[in-house]
Homo-oligomer: A and B are copies of this chain.
Amino acid sequence: MSQKIRGNLIIGQSGGATAVINASLVGAFETALADECIDGIYGMLYGIQGLLKEEIVDLRAEASHVWPQLLSTPSAALGTCRYKLQDDDPGRIIEILRRNDIRYLLYIGGNDSADTAHRLAEAAQYTGYELQTISVPKTIDNDLPITDHCPGYGSTARFIALATSDSAMNTISIPWHYPVKVIETMGRDAGWLAASSALGKRDEEDAPHIILVPEEPFNADRFLAQVEQIYRRIGYVVVVAAETIRDEQGQQLGAIKQAGTDAFNHPLLSGTAEYLVELVKQRLKLRARFDKPGDLQRMASNAISQTDRHEAYLVGKMGVQALLNGESDKMVTLVRHTEPAYHCTTELAELAQVANAQKLLPASYLNESRTMVTKAFYDYALPLVGDPLPQYARLQKIGVRR
């Protein structure tokens, strides 16, 4: 460990925002505030993309009451970006950091952001500029390696579990109206979010009945046979599908170009949910419709998991702590403990090991049908969504005797 250096700290938020990414910012800010080695506590506007334009704000100048409020404010308060560094960017950024005497850099984000932080660490070393960089994990997709899970995932998983249970309640109230419902979730190449839709499911009749994850190739005949079989058994089918599903040829559903295009010269069928709804309507002649919560699943303030928020705060705090301990070129990771009860501590992982890796849903979390999760997944994911999910009352519906 190197000697503590005196200088300014800059914090950035990057990638898709989450409902709790601001908690990491607050954790980092409050920890920095308590240390006398850190002079300025700065923020990048819109992540590295703003930093490249030297859009740097002074977080010490913010009113003190904003910090507790930020804990329950979804989205990235500093603004975020999805920007891949160009070859000459790291050198330019080092110059900007030097000009502002920034010696500590904390970057809150996912895989791409870890890559950015790693490249800045390398550039600093190459140019002999004394800089420490630490990356703080954040992604609803839960696809970062090494860390047990990613802050942001628990809240979106809670949203999706609730949305699936709640939306299915409507289907159950009048099953024949739209017997097939498709709910589309985010998740890019990983099925963590689609899988979370099962967290409120308690028996076979409960929704979801079919989960389509990106890890499993889609076969239309197999899917339709499964829909039909469930429909015949219980009268309705709730399908949860990740936005990115590929068929056995690797072609993404809903992005298949047809011979023709629509009035706007765009390929027909613009998404997975629309595709599946049309498939069911056409091939099974069943009424079907879809819910697509979209950005709401990232941001819903009324589905925030307290556990997730706490852990987002923790990784922000431990990120600054790591900087103050002389660490650099590393990402904070969450380490799960189950005794005496679920809780997490943190460790550090080399950024080089994180930057270009992606953690997919392990095979053991899907059962033999590949369209439903196993108990192992419940054990993994349930602690992350915070308070117990609501249990709804059901009438016994005992017939009147005459």
Whether B393 contacts A79 by the Cβ 8 Å rule is no
Whether A293 contacts B295 by the Cβ 8 Å rule is no
* Least CB distance, A392 to chain B, in whole angstroms: 4
CA distance A62 to B399 in the complex (A): 11
Whether A61 contacts B398 by the Cβ 8 Å rule is yes
Q: Does A133 contact B (CB under 8 A)?
A: no
Report A45-78 CB contacts with B as 1/0, cut-off 8 Å: 1100000000111110111001001101111111
Q: Does A80 contact B (CB under 8 A)?
A: yes
* Least CB distance, A201 to chain B, in whole angstroms: 16
Q: Does A402 contact B (CB under 8 A)?
A: yes
> Which residues of B have CB within 8 Å of A162?
300-302
* Least CB distance, A312 to chain B, in whole angstroms: 15
Residue in B81, B268, B398 whose CB lies within 8 Å of A57: B398
Q: Does A239 contact B (CB under 8 A)?
A: no
Report A163-185 CB contacts with B as 1/0, cut-off 8 Å: 10011011111100100010100
Whether B99 contacts A62 by the Cβ 8 Å rule is no
CA distance A56 to B397 in the complex (A): 8
Residue in B282, B291, B395 whose CB lies within 8 Å of A62: B395
Q: Which residue of B lies closest to A70 (CB)?
A: B393
Interface bracket on A: 35 or more
Residue in B70, B263, B264, B390 whose CB lies within 8 Å of A301: B390
CA distance A266 to B70 in the complex (A): 47
Whether B291 contacts A295 by the Cβ 8 Å rule is yes
Can you tell how many copies of this chain the complex includes? 2
Whether A397 contacts B173 by the Cβ 8 Å rule is no
Residue in B100, B293, B396 whose CB lies within 8 Å of A400: B100
Known contacts A57-B400, A174-B82; decide if A167 and B390 are in contact (CB<8 Å).
no
CA distance A9 to B54 in the complex (A): 73
Most B CB within 10 A of own CB, among A170, A263, A291: A170
Residue in B80, B170, B294 whose CB lies within 8 Å of A290: B294
Q: Which residue of B lies closest to A402 (CB)?
A: B100
Q: Does A250 contact B (CB under 8 A)?
A: no
Whether B274 contacts A263 by the Cβ 8 Å rule is no
Whether B299 contacts A302 by the Cβ 8 Å rule is no
Known contacts A58-B400, A100-B402; decide if A393 and B167 are in contact (CB<8 Å).
no
Whether B79 contacts A167 by the Cβ 8 Å rule is no
Known contacts A258-B263, A393-B69; decide if A74 and B42 are in contact (CB<8 Å).
no
Q: What would 22 A/B residue contacts be, using CB atoms closer than 8 Å?
A: A17-B174, A40-B400, A45-B397, A56-B399, A62-B395, A77-B394, A78-B395, A82-B177, A169-B299, A258-B263, A262-B268, A262-B269, A264-B278, A264-B279, A264-B282, A266-B278, A270-B278, A289-B294, A290-B294, A292-B292, A301-B392, A302-B303
